[in-house]
Amino acid sequence: MSSTPTSVKFPAGPAADPAGSRGEHRIRSFHARRGRITQAQAAAIERLWERWGVELDGAPLDPAALFGPAGLPVVVEIGFGMGDATAAMAAADPGTGILAVDVHTPGQGHLLALADRAGLTNVRVANGDAVILLRDMLPPASLSGLRAFFPDPWPKGKHHKRRLIQPAFLALVTPLLRPGAVVHCATDWEPYADQMLEVLSAAPGLVNRYDGFAPRPDFRPLTKFERQGLAKGHVVRDLLFTRA
């Protein structure tokens, strides 16, 4: 199919602001990016969004029910980019459901296409603000894990307040995790890695699985952002914490 960009609109989703901003004026860790989208990505959204797309509109959600009557243990992934690593992890672990959250329309379409092409049934693509999902939509102890791979490091000091991994964010996450659930973060920005380690180590209910940073786990595929960071000589840090 042609990769020529198109301006196709999506009346059934993903919505530009699924939660209607909910009257909030808080600082966010992201900017919504509709972006230029290829015909293949647009076609995947038009064909698959109704079945595999989830709008983060603030309505209560049973994450296991997204994956059929039998349900699956569910991991939330925040910020999946183009979704290549997400699809690879889903293929390697079909017994885990991945609720992948992003606001980048081309990436949403790409991940849907990857999942469809590989016959994956354990991926759902969520559109909107992950804080709305964690704060308003999920019941306690409903998640088997949370992943945040290469979130925006917001390197300027005045922007550090926009970083995703903060005490207030983990206060939302921790009650949603089942005992034994894993929080897995990765970054190639060392000052952010140090902050992540400090914040995660101080979070009540989370226990570091290693003494400091974790060795890079084989089950986490290389992401586009990781390759870019490695090409620049950056050091990649993984952090693996378990819910007590």
Q: Please indicate, yes or no, if residue 27 is contained in any of the structural domains.
A: no
Active site residue 84: no
CATH of the domain at 111: 3.40.50.150
Q: State whether 152 and 240 are in the same domain.
A: yes
Per-residue pLDDT band for 17 (boundaries 50, 70, 90) equals confident
Per-residue pLDDT band for 214 (boundaries 50, 70, 90) equals very high
Q: Which candidate in 102, 152, 194, 218 is catalytic?
A: 152
Is residue 203's pLDDT more than 80?
yes
Q: Please indicate, yes or no, if residue 2 is contained in any of the structural domains.
A: no
Residue 163 identity (one-letter amino acid): R
| Average pLDDT for 174-200 | 97
Q: State whether 184 and 148 are in the same domain.
A: yes
Q: Please indicate, yes or no, if residue 67 is contained in any of the structural domains.
A: yes
Domain with 66, as residue range(s), is 34-71+90-127
Residue 104 identity (one-letter amino acid): H
Is residue 212's pLDDT more than 50?
yes
Per-residue pLDDT band for 25 (boundaries 50, 70, 90) equals low
How many Å apart are CA 40 and CA 44, to the nearest integer? 6
Q: State whether 55 and 155 are in the same domain.
A: no
Q: Please indicate, yes or no, if residue 3 is contained in any of the structural domains.
A: no
Q: Is 12 helix (H, G, I), strand (E, B) or coil?
A: coil
Q: Please indicate, yes or no, if residue 243 is contained in any of the structural domains.
A: yes
Q: State whether 120 and 156 are in the same domain.
A: no
Among the residue ranges 140-144, 153-157, 180-184, 214-218, the one predicted with the least confidence is 153-157
Q: Which one is predicted more confidently, 156 or 23?
A: 156
Q: Is 165 helix (H, G, I), strand (E, B) or coil?
A: coil
Per-residue pLDDT band for 4 (boundaries 50, 70, 90) equals very low
Q: Please indicate, yes or no, if residue 134 is contained in any of the structural domains.
A: no
Is residue 183's pLDDT more than 80?
yes
Q: State whether 149 and 67 are in the same domain.
A: no
Q: What is the pLDDT of residue 34?
A: 54
Per-residue pLDDT band for 3 (boundaries 50, 70, 90) equals very low
Q: Which one is predicted more confidently, 83 or 5?
A: 83
The number of distinct structural domains making up the chain is 2
How many Å apart are CA 227 and CA 206, to the nearest integer? 29
Q: State whether 148 and 242 are in the same domain.
A: yes
Per-residue pLDDT band for 227 (boundaries 50, 70, 90) equals confident
Query: What are the CA-CA distances from residue 4 to residues 1, 36, 41, 116 (Å)?
Result: 9, 10, 10, 21
Is residue 33's pLDDT more than 70?
no
Q: What is the pLDDT of residue 70?
A: 84
| Average pLDDT for 71-84 | 96
Among the residue ranges 10-19, 70-79, 94-103, 191-200, the one predicted with the least confidence is 10-19
Is residue 5's pLDDT more than 80?
no
Tell me what the pLDDT averaged over the chain comes to.
89
Q: Please indicate, yes or no, if residue 163 is contained in any of the structural domains.
A: yes
> Got the DSSP string for 74-140?
EEEEE--TTSHHHHHHHHH-TTSEEEEEE-BHHHHHHHHHHHHHHT--SEEEEES-HHHIIIII--T
Q: Please indicate, yes or no, if residue 14 is contained in any of the structural domains.
A: no
pLDDT tens by residue, 119-177 = 999 999 999 999 999 999 999 999 999 999 999 998 888 869 989 999 999 999 999 99
Q: State whether 151 and 241 are in the same domain.
A: yes
Q: State whether 64 and 112 are in the same domain.
A: yes
Q: What is the pLDDT of residue 206?
A: 98
